Amino acid sequence: MNCFGFDDLFIGMSAQFKRKIDGEMINGFAQISGDSNPLHIDSDYARRSGFKDQIAHGMLCSSLFSELVGVHLPGENCLLTDISVVFSKPVFIDDEVMVDGSIVQLSPAFKSAKIDATITNKNSEVCIRAKIGVVVR
Amino acid sequence: MKSSEDVLNSCNEIFRTVFSDTTLSINVATSASDIADWDSLAQIRLLMAMEQTFEIQFALDEVEDLQNVGEIVELILVKVNQ
């Protein structure tokens, strides 16, 4: 886990990591969230609905932004204050995605940062975009 | 040179975005007591959005005693017209 302080941060500072979204994660999220929509947990249903396979919950994938800021950028000193998310393409079961975030604004008065983040699939297509606000303790 | 009306209009858009309320209308007398969700975290989101919009930076001692929108507008005007 990273542990950057506010003074360590700079505009353009970034972090990335990869994660495979597997069936165990999807089923676990369905249980935790209560979202048991068959599009997420039934591959036959998903295919009959015109998709190539089960679609991972958008909120499961976007939960990776929590790891991005809480573990990587800035890491331990992070307090997530706000996030806006746009879903543009589906993430399918067993897709490996890249989570990427970059600091776009720093406010010394509030020890706060804004981070633009994306989740992309193996074809480098952006599936999710987020704007994240954090306070650095 | 920006006028107080220009700054107030831009701030109104920022308030609408931060509070997700397209009907919100502020004036110089508007204060935290007038907007239920205007707490300390919202204050940070508001002021950071203003820093980005007006390409300025606040110092903590400049913003900790702000009482209403009028005082925010005055502070922004000083910074953008420097």
Got the DSSP string for chain A? Answer: --B--GGG--TT-EEEEEEE--HHHHHHHHHHH----HHHH-HHHHHHTT-SSPBPPHHHHHTHHHHIIIIISSBTTEEEEEEEEEE-S--BTT-EEEEEEEEEEEEGGGTEEEEEEEEE-TT--EEEEEEEEEEE-
Q: What pLDDT shows up at residue B61?
A: 92
Q: What pLDDT shows up at residue A57?
A: 98
Do the chains contact at B44 and A108, CB–CB below 8 Å? no
Compute the average pLDDT of residues A85-104: 98
Angstrom distance (rounded) from CA A82 to CA A60: 17
Does the pLDDT of residue A137 top 90, yes or no?
no
> What is chain B's length?
82
**CA dihedral of A130, B20, A10, A129, whole degrees rounded to 10:** 10
The percentage of residues in chain A with a pLDDT greater than 90, rounded to a whole number, is 99
Q: What pLDDT shows up at residue A54?
A: 97
Q: Residues B38, B32: contact at Cβ < 8 Å?
A: yes
CA-wise closest residue to B12 among B55, B76, B61, B64: B76
Compute the average pLDDT of residues A33-61: 97
Q: What pLDDT shows up at residue A91?
A: 98
Residues 6+ apart with CB under 8 A from B61: none
Q: Is B39 an 8 Å CB contact of chain A?
A: no
Other Cβ atoms within 10 Å of A106 Cβ, number: 20
Mean pLDDT, rounded, of chain A: 97
Q: Is B50 an 8 Å CB contact of chain A?
A: no
> What is chain A's length?
137
Q: What pLDDT shows up at residue B82?
A: 80
If one compares B51 and B1, the residue with the highest pLDDT of the two is B51
Question: For the complex shown, is ipTM > 0.85?
Answer: no
Do the chains contact at A107 and B48, CB–CB below 8 Å? yes
Domain ranges of chain A: 6-136
In chain B, what residues touch A110 (CB-CB under 8 Å)?
Answer: 44, 47-48, 60
- Measured between CA atoms, the residue of chain A closest to residue B52 is A105
Compute the average pLDDT of residues A48-73: 97
Write down the residue that tokens 């990587």 correspond to.
A72
Crossing angle for the helix pair B40-54 and B69-80, to the nearest 10 degrees: 30
| Per-residue confidence band for B64, with pLDDT thresholds at 50, 70 and 90 | confident
Q: Is A108 an 8 Å CB contact of chain B?
A: yes
pLDDT tens track for A68-92: 999 999 999 999 999 999 999 999 9
Strands A14-20 and A78-87: unpaired
Q: Which CATH number fits domain A6-136: 3.20.20.70, 3.40.50.1820, 3.10.129.10, 3.30.499.10?
A: 3.10.129.10
Q: Residues A107, A6: contact at Cβ < 8 Å?
A: no
Q: Which of A42-46, A69-73, A96-100, B61-65 has the lowest mean pLDDT?
A: B61-65
The domains located in chain B, with CATH, are 4-80 (1.10.1200.10)
pTM over 0.90: no
Does the pLDDT of residue B2 top 90, yes or no?
no
Q: What pLDDT shows up at residue A15?
A: 98
